């Protein structure tokens, strides 16, 4: 009982401190992780095995961490090192690509291909945002897309806010399509042993259907503003896409590495290579290809986010080991009265609403043992609950300016150039889009799996 109370108090304190931003979030999760290890596992449970299982270092030295044979073996307890190693690898690769000017080149190239027509840029940037976010973290996608959008808006004299809002939404939507698109998906995938193909054939299809509705929605919301844009600008004076490339050889290498990473991810169920193996390989190859810049890339990796994940996994491990999450799962089961369709509705809408206001990563990490327990006790297909959780957490974050990191980056980038996006304006556009996509996701899950 004492351990349960301590685990809950530490978890709630962590959430509140993250929201208040009194300290950086990695400091908060690491401090709470330390408290969990000492108070929950030490004082409350007197259990060394619980500490060993939660810290989970031993998993790195198993064969299954690098290569799976036959059925993939997932785990959902303690620090998910597979997620940490994979995200590290992707961070190195993305830094390498950004360093060579890949993202700016791609955005400028597409704008040029559509002859700098604003309505076409609007459409293509939405698709580009969704596509890139399938493989790269949405923060990086928006960081570059929003910056280029603002640059183009100054050249073409249009308001960049509609484009940035649409790009943010599509980045979050694209992230839901794959296993590596959004951190909750990586955690879900590595916890339950799902492959890239599993995601693309389930959440990917839902995201694809939703993207069509999203494009139509944003077109209807913004088409009047886009039509007003004048076309009396001479594009020959604009910077060429090639001017974005800082080093042509390294640019080619980073593009090849990116394409190889996609191939490795798409085929990892067939090859048996785990995402931690893929992450390690692409990091090593990127560092070798970057030559002298390798040290710069290593320094640029967002270690704070990795530490945030480590601390978070330990705190959630505290809840799991003390049985709190089983109680939560029991509550959801009771609320739904064993009705699976109602359970799906509860999970997707609660995930979406919570993710709209709090970080979706800790939420997803907390919910993983919950859905695992629900599936076991009610005899439900775990994968269906997983796709439900993934869609709810990935899409829900779009509804408010603080719901997802991509929103924060997009709004801040626009604001830095003087285009302030207020809460009211943001939610008026994005909340209905979020509700539409969550609704589409729920209906698709009902039609496909029941």
Partner 1 sequence: MEKQMIISIGREYGSGGHEIAERISKKYNLPIYDHNFLDELCQKKNLDKNLLAEFDEAKINKLFSRTVKGLNNSPAYNVANLQFEFLKDLAEEGKSFIVVGRCSEYVLRNYDALFSVFIYSNPKARAERLSKKLHITEKEATNMMYLKDAKRKKYHDAHSPIRWGKPKGYDLCIDSSSLGIDKTLDLLCSYIDIKYC
Residues that bind partner 1 (CB under 8 A): 19-21, 139, 143, 302, 401-402, 405, 407-409, 411-413, 415-423
Instruction: Count the neighbouring beta carbons within 10 Å of the beta carbon of residue 224.
Output: 9
| CB nearer partner 1, residue 143 or residue 385 | 143
Distance, CA of 82 to CA of 86 (rounded, Å): 6
| CB nearer partner 1, residue 4 or residue 129 | 129
Distance, CA of 446 to CA of 450 (rounded, Å): 5
CA 242 to chain centre: 30
- Residue 367 neighbours by CB under 8 Å, 6+ apart: 347, 351, 389, 393
| CB nearer partner 1, residue 154 or residue 201 | 154
| CB nearer partner 1, residue 221 or residue 412 | 412
Least separation in angstroms between residue 138's CB and partner 1 is 11
| CB nearer partner 1, residue 4 or residue 140 | 140
Residue 195 token pair: 């492959």
Least separation in angstroms between residue 448's CB and partner 1 is 34
Least separation in angstroms between residue 147's CB and partner 1 is 11
Whether 125 and 131 have beta carbons less than 8 Å apart is answered as: no
Whether 311 and 349 have beta carbons less than 8 Å apart is answered as: no
| CB nearer partner 1, residue 165 or residue 319 | 165
71 sits in the region (left: phi over 0; alpha: psi -120 to 50; else beta) called beta
Q: Helix 2-20 and helix 324-336: axis angle, to 10°?
A: 80
| CB nearer partner 1, residue 244 or residue 411 | 411
For residue 67, which phi and psi values (nearest 5 degrees)? -135, 135
| CB nearer partner 1, residue 416 or residue 428 | 416
Residue 351 token pair: 């995930």
3-state class (DSSP) for residue 193: coil
C-alpha separations of 421 from 410, 413, 416 in Å: 10, 10, 11
**Adjacent-strand bridge partners of 354:** none
3-state class (DSSP) for residue 67: strand
| CB nearer partner 1, residue 123 or residue 186 | 186
Least separation in angstroms between residue 34's CB and partner 1 is 23
Nearest to 51 by CA among 64, 65, 68, 39: 39
| CB nearer partner 1, residue 22 or residue 443 | 22
Least separation in angstroms between residue 299's CB and partner 1 is 14
Least separation in angstroms between residue 273's CB and partner 1 is 30
**What does the CA dihedral 134, 139, 33, 364 come to, rounded to 10 degrees?**
-40
| CB nearer partner 1, residue 112 or residue 419 | 419
| CB nearer partner 1, residue 75 or residue 300 | 300
Least separation in angstroms between residue 411's CB and partner 1 is 4
Distance, CA of 294 to CA of 432 (rounded, Å): 44
* Radius of gyration for the alpha carbons in the chain, expressed in angstroms and rounded: 22
3-state class (DSSP) for residue 273: strand
Least separation in angstroms between residue 90's CB and partner 1 is 15
Distance, CA of 193 to CA of 83 (rounded, Å): 12
Least separation in angstroms between residue 417's CB and partner 1 is 8
Least separation in angstroms between residue 15's CB and partner 1 is 13
For residue 273, which phi and psi values (nearest 5 degrees)? -75, 135
Least separation in angstroms between residue 179's CB and partner 1 is 22
- SS3 of 164-185: HHHHHHHHHHHHCCCCCCCHHH
Least separation in angstroms between residue 150's CB and partner 1 is 12
């Amino acid at each position: 009982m004492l351990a349960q109370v301590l685990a809950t108090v530490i978890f709630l304190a962590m959430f509140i401190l993250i929201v208040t931003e009194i300290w950086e979030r990695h400091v908060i999760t690491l401090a709470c992780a330390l408290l969990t290890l000492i108070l929950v596992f030490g004082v409350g449970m007197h259990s060394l095995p619980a500490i060993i299982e939660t810290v989970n270092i031993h998993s790195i030295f198993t064969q299954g961490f690098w290569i799976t044979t036959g059925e993939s073996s997932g785990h959902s307890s303690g620090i998910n090192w597979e997620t940490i190693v994979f995200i590290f690898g992707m961070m190195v690769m993305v830094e390498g690509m950004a360093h060579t000017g890949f993202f700016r080149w791609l955005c400028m190239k597409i704008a040029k291909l559509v002859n700098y027509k604003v309505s076409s840029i609007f459409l293509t940037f939405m698709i580009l945002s969704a596509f890139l976010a399938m493989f790269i973290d949405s923060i990086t996608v928006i960081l570059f897309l929003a910056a280029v959008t603002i640059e183009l808006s100054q050249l073409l004299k249009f308001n960049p806010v509609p484009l940035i809002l649409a790009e943010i939404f599509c980045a979050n939507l694209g992230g839901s399509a794959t296993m590596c698109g959004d951190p909750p998906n990586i955690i879900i995938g590595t916890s339950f042993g799902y492959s890239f193909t599993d995601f693309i054939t389930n959440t990917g299809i839902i995201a694809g259907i939703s993207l069509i509705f999203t494009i139509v929605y944003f077109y209807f919301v913004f088409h009047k503003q886009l039509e007003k844009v004048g076309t009396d600008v001479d594009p020959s004076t604009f910077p060429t896409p090639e001017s974005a490339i800082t080093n042509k050889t390294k640019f080619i290498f980073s593009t090849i590495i990116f394409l190889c990473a996609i191939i490795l991810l798409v085929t990892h169920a067939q090859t048996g290579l785990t995402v931690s193996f893929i992450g390690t390989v692409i990091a090593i190859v990127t560092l070798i290809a970057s030559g002298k810049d390798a040290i710069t890339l290593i320094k640029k990796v967002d270690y704070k986010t990795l530490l945030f994940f480590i601390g978070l996994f330990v705190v959630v491990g505290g809840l799991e080991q003390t049985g709190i999450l089983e109680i939560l799962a029991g509550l959801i089961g009771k609320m739904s009265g064993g009705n699976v369709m109602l359970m799906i509705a509860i999970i997707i809408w609660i995930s979406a609403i919570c993710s709209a206001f709090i970080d979706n990563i800790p939420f997803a990490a907390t919910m993983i043992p919950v859905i695992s327990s629900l599936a076991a006790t009610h005899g439900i297909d775990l994968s269906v609950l997983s796709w439900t959780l993934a869609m709810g957490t990935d899409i829900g974050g779009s509804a408010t300016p603080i719901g997802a990191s991509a929103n924060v980056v997009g709004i801040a980038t626009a604001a830095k150039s003087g285009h302030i996006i207020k809460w009211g304006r943001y939610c008026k556009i994005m909340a209905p889009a979020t509700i539409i996509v969550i609704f589409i996701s729920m209906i698709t899950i009902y039609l496909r799996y029941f």
